[in-house]
Amino acid sequence: MNYTNLLIEVDADNILTLTINRPQALNALNRLTIQELEDFFTKAYKNYEQVSGIIITGAGEKAFVAGADIKEFLELDGDGGAQLAQKGQNVFFSIENFHKPVIALVNGFALGGGCELAMSCHMRVATENAKFGQPEVNLGLIPGYGGTQRLIQYIGKGKAMELLMTADMIGAAEAHTHGLVNHVTPAGEGMGKAKEILKKISTKGPVAISKIIETVNAYFDKNQDGFAREVVEFGHTTRTQDFVEGATAFVEKRRADFKGN
Ligand code: CAA
């Protein structure tokens, strides 16, 4: 698959790395990049069904993603802003609800839409130079790709209000303290950590992993009862071949060989 602003690489362990590749603009999410992310997470991923998980990162040493592309904002008029936000939110929902684990490897600035992209992933690994923030108020804007909603989920309302209103950036260590990132690594070691997590997950039942994503997300979906969804999906997993294999392997004291059905 060839994209202009996304690089795709699949390694020998079947882990796919998606690199946002606009280092000259600190990987800012312009319309084309959002379009390409949408294409990947709604269509093109089907060409990579063998992969066990995805890592999203930014090209270069300075930024994960420094936000939506501010230069394109100057062209917005009429309802263009609301349409842009709706489109970005839809793309980030497709990442949040993706059926395989998605880890953000935050290797520098994750600001505005970049912080929002990282928050839409299932986990975040940050290198020590990472910086997180929602600086939209500096531009007289509010976040549009889910920042006001997801930041609260990770760091709580009080701290989220502070970061959203002051536009302050926080470093990797503070982001870790507040629960925004799962792990902090020295520069150059983030990819190894993200892959280590995905490799461990790849040994588990794939259907169960997809149901974990659905049921955890159900908690945050006002249209769903998460506990009721858990009952339904637990029932679903008990009817899978993966469960038969997992339980049999336990009894036979061997490693399960899951097929994902
Ligand atoms: N959009 C477009 N271009 C951007 C950009 C962005 N979000 N962030 C950086 N760039 C560009 C710069 O314009 C510059 O390009 P030129 O060389 O052509 O001038 C290049 O990337 C390098 O950036 P700087 O020279 O500014 O680098 P720096 O080290 O001095 O500063 C920075 C780094 C603090 C991250 C600074 O670039 C910055 O503040 N960027 C904007 C961050 C921001 O406000 N993000 C939120 C955007 S709004 C949003 O995301 C809304 C939403 O929720 C959807």
Q: Which residue has a Cα nearest atom 45 of ligand 1? A: 67
pLDDT at 1 over 80: no
Query: How far, in Å, is the centroid of ligand 1 from the Cα of 15?
Result: 30
Query: Do residue 114 and residue 91 come from a single domain?
Result: yes
Instruction: Locate the ligand 1 atom nearest the alpha carbon of residue 71 and give its number.
Output: 2
Catalytic positions are 116, 136
Within-domain flag for 188: yes
Instruction: Locate the ligand 1 atom nearest the alpha carbon of residue 143 and give its number.
Output: 53
Instruction: Locate the ligand 1 atom nearest the alpha carbon of residue 113 and give its number.
Output: 50
How many domains does the structure of the chain reveal?
2
**How many whole angstroms separate alpha carbon 14 and alpha carbon 224?**
33
Average pLDDT of span 168-195: 98
Query: Do residue 116 and residue 213 come from a single domain?
Result: no
Q: Which residue has a Cα nearest atom 18 of ligand 1? A: 25
Q: Which residue has a Cα nearest atom 11 of ligand 1? A: 25
Could you tell me if the CB of 108 is within 6 A of ligand 1?
no
Average per-residue pLDDT in the chain?
97
Strand order across the 109-111 sheet: 63-65, 109-111, 131-133, 170-171
**How many whole angstroms separate alpha carbon 133 and alpha carbon 167?**
6
Within-domain flag for 170: yes
Within-domain flag for 227: yes
Within-domain flag for 195: yes
Extract long-range pairs of 241-247: CB within 8 Å, 24+ residues apart.
Answer: 242/205, 242/206, 242/207, 242/208, 243/205, 243/208, 245/205, 246/205
The tens digit of pLDDT for each residue in 190-215 reads: 999 999 999 999 999 999 999 999 99
Query: How far, in Å, is the centroid of ligand 1 from the Cα of 134?
Result: 12
Query: Do residue 18 and residue 109 come from a single domain?
Result: yes
The tens digit of pLDDT for each residue in 214-226 reads: 999 999 999 999 9
Query: Do residue 126 and residue 22 come from a single domain?
Result: yes
pLDDT at 181 over 80: yes
pLDDT at 78 over 90: no
Within-domain flag for 155: yes
Q: What's the longest Cα–Cα distance across the chain?
A: 65
Query: How far, in Å, is the centroid of ligand 1 from the Cα of 98?
Result: 28
What's the whole-model pTM score? 0.98
Distances (CA, A) of 22 to 10, 19, 69, 128, 203: 20, 9, 11, 22, 34
Domain that holds residue 196: 6-201
**How many whole angstroms separate alpha carbon 105 and alpha carbon 182?**
10
What is the predicted pLDDT for the residue at 173? Answer: 98
pLDDT at 183 over 80: yes
